[in-house]
Amino acid sequence: MTAPRPSKVAGIKPSFSPPPQTPRPDAADSEEAAATESGSTAGGAPGRERERRGRQRDRDRERHRERRNQERRSQEQLSDLTALHALTTELARTDTLDGALHEILRAGAALLGTHRGLIALEPTATTGTAPERTIGLGLAHADLGQIETVPRSSAAYARILDGTADLEDPSGGRPTAPPGAPGAAPSGAVPSGAAPSGGTRAADGTGEPSGTTAGTPDAPGTAPGTAPGTAPRAATGAASGIVCPDIATAEELDPRHREVAARIGYAASYAVPLSTADGTRLGAAVWLYDEPTEPSTRQRQQLARYLQQATEHTARLADLARARAELTALREELLPSTLPRVPGVRLAVRHRTGPRGGGDWYDALPLPDGALGLAVGGVTGGGPTAVAGMGRLRAALRAYAAMEGEDPVAVLSDLELLLRLTEPSCSATALFAYAEPGTRRVLIAGAGHCPPLIVGPERVEPVETTLSAPLGMLSCWEAPSATVTLRAGETLLCYSDGLLHRTGDPMDQAFTRLHGAAANAPREVRDDPDALAEHVLRTVLPGPLADQPDHPEDVVLLAARF
């Protein structure tokens, strides 16, 4: 049934509302769901907006942190590159092997935060036959001697030199080649599948490698990246090396090693091989720490980058030192190994030469009838060419002196003719003296050479020789000889012009200095030709001038006391 419907009357509104109809259950549920959805839509928009803004702030903060980290890394890289530039610039200024090695030790100590270290060179890095050399920083000779008493199986530098050091990646990767060697990982790179290592032990001591990774929290009171009592292990990643963070607790080390470390006062060490890009091994370097510790990964990377440049520079200087050593050996073989013993005469000599010199020579040879021939000369130029020319001229002069030594002018004339015919582009100075010890009579001829000096108890004066041109300068050389008779106890002092040139003064002032040095020599010095030669050398060339190894001027002093 339906509810009664009131009658409709025009203009009259019913006084009561019709009763509501009972809705269907499904319709009620639909209305309730729509209302709920409408309410959720109206009140959820601000929440989603807050969530979106929160996520945006998180992304902004993450980007800001990344930018700050990138800026910090850029600043660190710039600082590292600036430090490397300064250190390599200092290294480039070195021009000797020892100077470069000391600079490498100093730079490595600055990069690793220590102040002591040593470098052990391979024998082939210098002359090829010399024994192993050790150079120290902050270590006395006695300290180096004690370190060398450590068994080679325990000392890291010795294991690197002997090729027994285990520089393999402790995580099982490929062996870590020395920085710059073929197949080596780039500086700072980590072998595939390996985390950056905190180091590997054995710098000045060594043991079996045990891998530890950098980036993990360190236990209080332990070396970074290591556990207490960690044994020596091989460093991986940034630089292949052997690090021993706590020598006192490393039971794998030889007891002598721990004893030496305690006596000298170092507690940790870090050793690396010194190898060039082509794999040539120059030696090994070790830096020592006063306290148990080890270098960080960044420090190892810096050291590896520095050594890539330093080893190449050192290799060039080592090759140069080897060539100079061979040239010096050749030059010494071309000069008299000993001075002859001639009755009535005592001889002494001083000879100094540099890598760019080598053309000056001296000689003293016994002649027939008890006579003595004295010669001093020099070939123009320097280096191997001058050394070879010096050897040929000295040999020729000995031959001419043996045949006609009593006539010094004839000896030099024949030598000049030989020089013009066989070496037209070469010139030389020479002085030859024919001495008769029994009568103390000396005949002297010179070709462009400095006059000898007579030094005795009562006089110091030069021998007046005739001025003449050097050999090879004129089409026909000839000059008269000078004859002097020495008194008993007097010394004939022959010298090369390099003695005067090394002073840096004009020739007349340098000769005045030479004359004064001989005149002021004490009487006991004048009586000994060896002491007189040493006195004159040290007085005319004070300080380092007499022994300066890289000076271009050779020095010869030949003293004959009658």
How confident is the model over 348-388, as pLDDT tens digits? 998 887 666 667 888 899 998 889 999 998 887 766 777 77
Would you state the pLDDT for residue 549? 65
Boundary (domain end) residue, out of 327, 361, 395: 327
What is the domain extent for residue 497? Answer: 335-561
Q: How far apart, in whole angstroms, are the C-alpha atoms of residue 129 and residue 416? A: 39
Is residue 303 within 8 A of residue 290, CB to CB? The reply is no
Q: Are 322 and 445 part of one and the same domain?
A: no
Q: Are 418 and 502 part of one and the same domain?
A: yes
Would you state the pLDDT for residue 337? 73
Q: Are 315 and 364 part of one and the same domain?
A: no
pTM check: above 0.75: no
Q: Are 471 and 555 part of one and the same domain?
A: yes
Ordered DSSP codes for 398-448: HHHHHHHTT-HHHHHHHHHHHHHHH-TT--EEEEEEEEETTTTEEEEEEES
One-letter identity of residue 63: R
Q: Are 435 and 318 part of one and the same domain?
A: no
Q: Are 441 and 528 part of one and the same domain?
A: yes
For residue 377, what are the contacts with CB-CB under 8 A and spacing of at least 6?
360, 361, 362, 390, 393, 394, 397, 428, 429, 430, 431, 449, 496
Q: Are 315 and 407 part of one and the same domain?
A: no
Boundary (domain end) residue, out of 292, 327, 362: 327
Please report whether residue 469 resides in a domain. Answer: yes
Please report whether residue 30 resides in a domain. Answer: no
The secondary structure of residue 389, as a DSSP letter, is H
Q: How far apart, in whole angstroms, are the C-alpha atoms of residue 134 and residue 118? A: 7
Nearest Cα neighbor of 121 from 266, 293, 318, 294 is: 318
Ordered DSSP codes for 5-62: -PPPBTTB--SSPPPPPPPPHHHHHHHHHHHHHHHHHHHHHHHHHHHHHHHHHHHHHH
Token output for 349: 């000599």
Boundary (domain end) residue, out of 281, 308, 327: 327
Q: Are 314 and 460 part of one and the same domain?
A: no
Would you state the pLDDT for residue 210? 34
Please report whether residue 275 resides in a domain. Answer: yes
Q: How far apart, in whole angstroms, are the C-alpha atoms of residue 346 and residue 340? A: 9
Nearest Cα neighbor of 471 from 365, 374, 359, 367 is: 359
Q: Are 439 and 555 part of one and the same domain?
A: yes
Would residue 186 be called left, alpha or beta, if left means φ above 0 and alpha means ψ between -120 and 50 degrees?
beta
User: At 120, which helix (H) or strand (E)?
Assistant: strand 116-121
Query: Residue 360: helix, strand or coil by DSSP?
Result: strand
Is residue 376 within 8 A of residue 431, CB to CB? The reply is yes
Token output for 484: 């002097």
Instruction: For residue 387, give the CATH number of its domain.
Output: 3.60.40.10
Q: How far apart, in whole angstroms, are the C-alpha atoms of residue 492 and residue 179? A: 60
Number of domains in the chain: 2
Please report whether residue 71 resides in a domain. Answer: yes
Q: What's the CA angle centered on 87, arms 85 and 91, to 5 degrees? A: 115
Would you state the pLDDT for residue 358? 65
Residue carrying structure tokens 């006059």? 451
Is residue 275 within 8 A of residue 282, CB to CB? The reply is yes
Q: How far apart, in whole angstroms, are the C-alpha atoms of residue 450 and residue 462? A: 9
Q: How far apart, in whole angstroms, are the C-alpha atoms of residue 416 and residue 429? A: 10
Please report whether residue 272 resides in a domain. Answer: yes
User: At 455, which helix (H) or strand (E)?
Assistant: strand 453-455
Q: Are 374 and 523 part of one and the same domain?
A: yes
Instruction: For residue 274, give the CATH number of its domain.
Output: 3.30.450.40
Would you state the pLDDT for residue 38? 47
Token output for 523: 């009487």
Please report whether residue 202 resides in a domain. Answer: no
Ordered DSSP codes for 496-533: -THHHHTT-S-HHHHHHHHHHHHHTS-HHHHT-HHHHH
Backbone angles phi, psi at 106, to 5 degrees: -65, -45
Is residue 283 within 8 A of residue 105, CB to CB? The reply is no
**Per-residue H/E/C for 166-192:** CCECCCCCCECCCCCCCCCCCCCCCCC
Radius of gyration of the chain (CA): 44
Token output for 36: 């709920």
Q: Are 312 and 371 part of one and the same domain?
A: no
> Tens of pLDDT along 29-76?
444 444 444 444 445 677 788 888 888 888 878 888 888 877 777 777
* Length of the chain (residues): 562
Residue 194: CB atoms within 10 A of its CB come to: 18
Please report whether residue 52 resides in a domain. Answer: no
Would you state the pLDDT for residue 503? 84
Q: Are 427 and 517 part of one and the same domain?
A: yes
* Separate counts of helices (H) and strands (E) for the chain: 12, 16
Q: How far apart, in whole angstroms, are the C-alpha atoms of residue 70 and residue 341? A: 79
Query: Residue 294: helix, strand or coil by DSSP?
Result: coil
Residue 543: CB atoms within 10 A of its CB come to: 8
Please report whether residue 189 resides in a domain. Answer: no
One-letter identity of residue 236: T
Nearest Cα neighbor of 257 from 210, 201, 211 is: 201
Q: How far apart, in whole angstroms, are the C-alpha atoms of residue 162 and residue 235? A: 18
Q: Along the 562 residues of the chain, how does pLDDT read in single tens digits?
A: 455 554 544 444 544 454 445 444 444 444 444 444 444 444 567 778 888 888 888 887 888 888 887 777 777 777 778 888 888 888 889 888 889 999 999 999 999 999 999 999 887 644 444 456 888 999 999 999 999 999 988 888 888 888 876 653 333 333 343 333 333 333 333 333 333 333 334 333 333 333 333 333 343 333 344 443 444 544 444 457 888 999 999 888 999 999 999 999 999 999 999 988 888 888 999 999 999 999 998 899 899 999 999 999 988 988 888 877 776 666 666 677 778 888 989 999 988 876 666 678 888 999 988 899 999 988 877 667 777 778 888 888 888 988 888 888 888 888 888 888 887 777 888 889 999 998 999 999 888 888 899 998 888 888 887 667 788 776 666 777 888 999 989 999 999 888 888 888 888 888 888 888 898 888 888 889 999 999 988 888 887 776 676 677 788 899 999 9
Beta bridge partners of 197: 213
